Amino acid sequence: MRLRNVKNKEEILSNCPFLIRNGEEYLGKWKDLFDNNNPIYIEIGMGKGDFIIENAKNYPNINFIGIEKYDSVIARACEKVPEGLNNLFLVRMDALDIDKTFKKEIDLIYLNFSDPWPKKRHSDRRLTSHIFLEKYDHIFKNKKEIIQKTDNKNLFEYSIVSLSTYGYTIDDITFDLHNRDENIIMTEYEKKFTSKGNNIYYLVATKE
């Protein structure tokens, strides 16, 4: 991902009331932060926030958390969140710290257009590698559910194998999401790729 520096990003982040800089402080306490017992859905690598913000607006009875590691990117997301949206927080963190930030609290994970890490020696960095699937075991509340969207066929095929080997069931799958479904909430990348006619690969995987 090409990152453009946002000159006033520190000012934006400092004035962002729904930004959490140290998520580890809320380990086991996220429901207290939201002040309710609604399900919690997280998006790992939310980019500029289009997907997670639109979901929070459309589903007020679900709590959403967008995770992003880059300040310039999360600053752009902060600028988009409307006032009064009380079921969304943004967390500045690296995905490797996911199990230090949540503990048996999460109901669903979105993995949208994650870095494919195409080189074989980097495969453990993929968000559907066994390294991350083990971390997810510690953060899911009960039933585990992962929804993935990507334009990268190799990553998608890798994810199918990795998830299945780890005990997940693939409940839904398509190699051309936008040809099958309408009224899809899209990420920034998704809008770009679909405008070029690229296929979007999609799956829902669950594990009891």
Question: Residue 52 is encoded by which pair of tokens?
Answer: 């997670």
The helix-helix angle for 130-139 and 153-165 (nearest 10°) equals 60
CB crowding 97-114: b at 16 or more within 10 Å, else e: ebeebbbebbbbbbbbbb
Choose, from 115, 151, 172, 176, the residue flagged as catalytic.
115
Asked about 97 being catalytic, the answer comes back as: no
Query: Hey, which residues does 150 pair with through a beta bridge?
Result: 201
Residues 104, 29 contacting (CB under 8 angstroms) = no
CA distances from 109 to 130, 164, 192 (A): 15, 16, 23
Residues classed as catalytic: 115
